[in-house]
Structure 1
Amino acid sequence: LWPLSPLVIKKIEEIQNLRLKINMIAPSHGVIWRRNPTKIVEAYLRWAKGESEDRILVVYDTMWGSTEKMARSIVEGVTSVNVDVRMYRIPYSDRSDIMADLLNSKGLLLGSSTINNDIIPTVAPILEDLKGLKPKGKVAAAFGSYGWGGGAVKTMEETLKKAGFDIVQPGLSINWVPDREELKRCFDFGKEFAERIKHL
C-alpha cells in the first residue's frame, strides 16, 4: 500500500467524485466487501495518507532473554504516559499481523540481540518487509542487548531510515543482562518515545 499511496489516494478521490452508490467491492483477489464497503475505502484512504493512532509497536526478538527484559520495561514506560502499545515477539508473532498493526500505529520500537556484530536472523525478515513497504509518516527507534560488541541497534537504525522511518531518538544498547538501573533507562526510553508520539 505505502509505495503506491499517491496512486491509491488519486483513484479513491476519482471514484468518490463520481458519487456512485457502492454496494459491493469485489477485487480480482482478496476479500469481497458486501457489507458497508465504504468502510474499507475510508480505511485505505487513511492508510494511504499516513493517518494513524497514538499507538506504538514494540517488536523484538531475544537470544537469552536480555532484550526481552528491555522490551518489557520499554512497554511499561510507554504505558506510563497513557499511549497504546502492542508488543510482538518475533518469530512467535505473525509478520502480517505486525505489518497490519503498523498501518494504524504512529511508532515502532524495534529490538534485537546482537550476534556477530549484527541483528539476530529472526529480525531480518521484518526489516526486509519494512524496506519494501516504505511506511509513510512513521517514527522509530531501536534497542537491543549485546555481549562483546554491539551492532544490532546500528543495523536496525540504518535500515529503518532507508525504509522511510524518522528516527526520533538515539538507540538504546545494553551490555549483557540489564540491571535495575539499566531497566530504568529502558523505561525512560519507552516513556520518552511515547511522549514524542503524543506530539506528532
Structure 2
Amino acid sequence: MAFKISDTITWVGKIDWELRTFHGEEYSTHKGSSYNSYLIKDEKTVLIDTVWQPFSKEFITNLKKKVNLNEIDYIIMNHSESDHSGALSDLMKEIPDTPIYCTKSGAKIIKGHYHKDWNFVEVKTGDTLDIGKNKLTFVEAKMLHWPDTMFTYLSGENILFSNDAFAQHYASESIYNDKVDQAELFQEAIKYYANILTPFSKFVVKKIEEVLSFNLPVKMICPSHGIIWRDNPLQIVNKYMEWAKDYNENQITIIYDTMWNDTRRMAEAIAEGIKSSNKDIIIKLFNSSKNDKNDIITEVFKSKMVLVGSSTINNGILSSTAAILEMIKGLDFKKKKGAAFGSYGWSGESVKIISEELNKAGFEVVNEGIKELWNPDEDGLNRCREFGRNILEKI
C-alpha cells in the first residue's frame, strides 16, 4: 500500500491495525498505529525512515513496486528506534553502500541495534542536502524523545518530517488530519504526549521555539506514526507548546485500588465531597487494577490535583497502585498537587507510603491524607466527604 502525498512524495509505510501495545507492554494502542516511511523522488531519490522489523520484508516488497532500490540515493534516519529502523537490515542487504544520514547519536545507536558499520553520514542542525528542485535541511531534536532524534525539512515542498514529534498511535487509511475523527485524533495525540514526551517538555519548548525562529513555511507535518497534518498543520505545534508548559485543566483525578471495596467507597465519598463544593470541577475516578494505565496517565497529565488510594497489604500498597505511582514518578510531571487515602485492617501504612511516593514524583502533597479502619461506616464516609470538600482549598 502506498499514498501519493505530492507529485514528489509517496507514503510507503505500514498501517498496523492489530497493534495493541507498544514499547513492549508499556503503552496501550487501542486504535492501532502506523509506521510512516516516505519516498521522495526528485533529481535524487530519498527514503525517509523505514518500518518495524516484523513488517520489514513486506515493506521492501512494496517499496520495490515504487522504486528500483538501486535508484535510492540516500536514506534518512530521523530516529534509530526499532519501529523506524527495523527494515534497515533487510534493506541494506540489497543496497549496502547507500549513505544513511543521521545524527552522531543515531549512528551509534543503529550500530548498537544491528552491529553493522554501514555508510553513515553524520549531520547536525543546519546541514543540508540538495536533491534537485528541493533541498533537505536537518534539525537535531535531542530528547524528542531519544538523544538521536532529528527533524528533516524539505524546502520547495515545505514539508517537515518530524518523526516521533507530533505523532499519534492511530491507524487510519484516511491519512490526513482533516479526514479523521477529530475527537479520536486529539485524544490519541494528548495520550501520546502525556505518556511519552512529558519528561522532555523543556526540550519540546526549546526546540519548537528554535524551529519557529527559522520562519520556515510549513505546508505539511509528516510524523512517523499516525496521520499527516496538512490542514492548519501548526495547530499541533501550538498544542505541543500548550502541553509542554505545565499543562492542566480544571480537573481532579482520583486513582485507587481496593481489596474489598472499602477504599473504593472512600474514593466515591471523597468525590461526592469535592462535587458538593464545586460543581464545575471535573472529577474522574479510576480503579488502577481495572483501567488502562496509559489512559489513567493521560488524565493525570490533564489534572491540577491527583488523589491516590490503596488498601494496606503486607505493610505496603496494592501492586497496581505501586505501578501507577512508579509511572507517575518517571514522567516527571510539574506543578501538580496530590494527596493519599486508603482503608486498612491492621497497621495502615498505605497512606504514608503513597504520600512519600507522590512527594518523590515531585507533587506538592497537600496534607497527611486520610485512612479508615476496615469498612467505613457513615461517620467514616462523612469524614471522606469532608476530606473532599477541604481538598478544594488546597488547589
**TM-score relative to the length of structure 2:** 0.48
Structure-2 change in CA distance of 1:11 and 1:120 (3 Å): same
User: What is the aligned partner in structure 2 of residue 8 from structure 1?
Assistant: 204
Is residue 247 of structure 2 the alignment partner of residue 59 of structure 1?
no
Deviations along 1:131-172, one digit per CA (max 9) or x if unpaired, are 110111110001000001111111111111111111012211
Count the aligned residue pairs: 197
Q: Which of residues 309, 312, 316 is equivalent to 1:118?
A: 316
Identity percentage of aligned residues: 47
CA drift at 1:96? 0.7
Larger deviation, residues 29-38 vs 179-188: 29-38
CA drift at 1:195? 3.1
Is residue 327 of structure 2 the alignment partner of residue 129 of structure 1?
yes
CA drift at 1:39? 2.9
Instruction: Report 1:172-187 matches (<5 A).
Output: 172-187=370-385
Is residue 100 of structure 2 the alignment partner of residue 100 of structure 1?
no
Is residue 392 of structure 2 the alignment partner of residue 191 of structure 1?
no
In proportion to residue count, which structure has more helix?
Answer: 1
Distance 1:35 1:193 in 2: 42
Structure-2 change in CA distance of 1:41 and 1:191 (3 Å): farther
CA drift at 1:100? 1.1
Larger deviation, residues 28-37 vs 125-134: 28-37
Distance 1:54 1:6 in 2: 23
Distance 2:231 2:210 in 1: 22
CA drift at 1:27? 2.6
Equivalent residue of 1:26, what SS?
strand
Distance 2:300 2:216 in 1: 31
Larger deviation, residues 114-123 vs 13-22: 13-22
User: What is the aligned partner in structure 2 of residue 70 from structure 1?
Assistant: 266
Contact 2:341/2:369 (CA < 8 Å) preserved in 1? yes
Contact 1:59/1:110 (CA < 8 Å) preserved in 2? yes
Is residue 228 of structure 2 the alignment partner of residue 28 of structure 1?
no
Structure-2 change in CA distance of 1:45 and 1:79 (3 Å): same
Contact 2:352/2:368 (CA < 8 Å) preserved in 1? no
Is residue 328 of structure 2 the alignment partner of residue 138 of structure 1?
no
Equivalent residue of 1:13, what SS?
helix
Contact 1:56/1:194 (CA < 8 Å) preserved in 2? no
Distance 2:264 2:318 in 1: 13
Structure-2 change in CA distance of 1:24 and 1:152 (3 Å): farther
Distance 1:151 1:86 in 2: 25
Equivalent residue of 1:53, what SS?
coil
Deviations along 1:45-77, one digit per CA (max 9) or x if unpaired, are 222210311200001110001000000001111
Deviations along 1:19-47, one digit per CA (max 9) or x if unpaired, are 33433332334554344433322222222
Contact 1:111/1:143 (CA < 8 Å) preserved in 2? yes
Gaps of 5+ in 1: none
| Letter aligned with residue 97 of structure 1 | D
Larger deviation, residues 137-146 vs 181-190: 181-190
Deviations along 1:100-140, one digit per CA (max 9) or x if unpaired, are 12222111000101101110112121011011101111100
Contact 1:47/1:104 (CA < 8 Å) preserved in 2? no
User: What is the aligned partner in structure 1 of residue 356 from structure 2?
Assistant: 158
- Higher RCO (CA 8 Å, separation ≥ 6 residues): 1
| Letter aligned with residue 119 of structure 1 | I
Structure-2 change in CA distance of 1:111 and 1:18 (3 Å): same
Equivalent residue of 1:145, what SS?
strand
Larger deviation, residues 73-82 vs 42-51: 42-51
| Letter aligned with residue 59 of structure 1 | I
